[in-house]
């Protein structure tokens, strides 16, 4: 492994760990084994990240696995067939274009909003019922 690659890999590992901390804090990882899992992505251009996430979830023993995205390239959807049990995509552009063009978001909004959502649903409700929240 080259020094350049090792440096890039370490930088990516640190970034992933920072994101994990922002999303789940000190809470333990959710139990996935034997459960239905839904992976939600803000859009799929090449499918590489979605494929890696689907495979990681599958290794953790999900009973069923669904990928849900608002937009994806036709090529990526074809490549992702078989990676999960179901694939839900609201929009398939007629011409192959990166999904980032169709779903304008900044790096900050991609992490801030999900973090607020996860915090809202991790708080126990009075009466013991399931949590719900209006997250914007």
Looking at the fold, whether 63 and 92 belong to one and the same domain comes out as: yes
pLDDT value at residue 124: 53
Q: What is the pTM of this model?
A: 0.61
Which pLDDT value is given to residue 13? 84
Tell me the sheet residues that pair with 33.
Answer: 62
For residue 24, report the phi and psi dihedrals to the nearest 5 degrees: -115, -10
Q: Residue 14's domain spans which residues? A: 1-29
* Distance, CA of 18 to CA of 81 (rounded, Å): 31
pLDDT in tens, 5-49: 889 889 888 988 888 888 888 888 889 999 999 999 988 988 998
Same-domain pairing of 14 and 52: no
**How many structural domains are present in the chain?**
2
Residues 84 and 51 in one domain: yes
Q: Is the pLDDT of residue 132 over 60?
A: no
Residues 75-122 pLDDT 10s? 999 999 999 999 999 988 876 545 444 444 444 445 555 555 555 555
| Residue 91 falls inside a structural domain | yes
pLDDT of amino acid 9: 86
- The answer to whether residue 134 is domain-embedded is no
For residue 69, list its beta bridge partners.
89
| Pairwise CA distance, residues 45 & 74, whole Å | 9
Q: Domain holding 101: CATH number?
A: 3.40.50.2020
Same domain, 60 and 21: no
| CA neighbours closer than 13 Å in the CB half-sphere of residue 35 | 9
Cα 42 from Cα 69, distance rounded (Å): 6
Domain assignment present for residue 119? The answer is no
Q: Kind and range of the H or E element at 91?
A: strand 86-91
């Amino acid at each position: 492994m080259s020094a350049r690659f090792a440096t890039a890999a370490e930088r990516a590992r640190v970034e992933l760990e920072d994101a994990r901390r922002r999303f789940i804090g000190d809470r333990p990882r959710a139990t996935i084994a034997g459960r239905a899992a839904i992976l939600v992505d803000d859009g799929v251009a090449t499918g590489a990240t979605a494929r890696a996430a689907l495979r990681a979830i599958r290794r953790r023993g999900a009973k069923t696995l669904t990928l849900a995205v608002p937009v994806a390239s036709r090529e990526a959807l074809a490549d992702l067939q078989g990676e999960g049990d179901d694939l839900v995509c609201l929009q398939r552009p007629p011409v192959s274009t990166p999904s980032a063009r169709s779903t304008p978001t900044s790096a900050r909004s991609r992490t801030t909003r999900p973090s607020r959502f996860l915090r809202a649903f991790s708080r126990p409700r009075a009466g013991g019922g399931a949590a719900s929240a209006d997250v914007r």
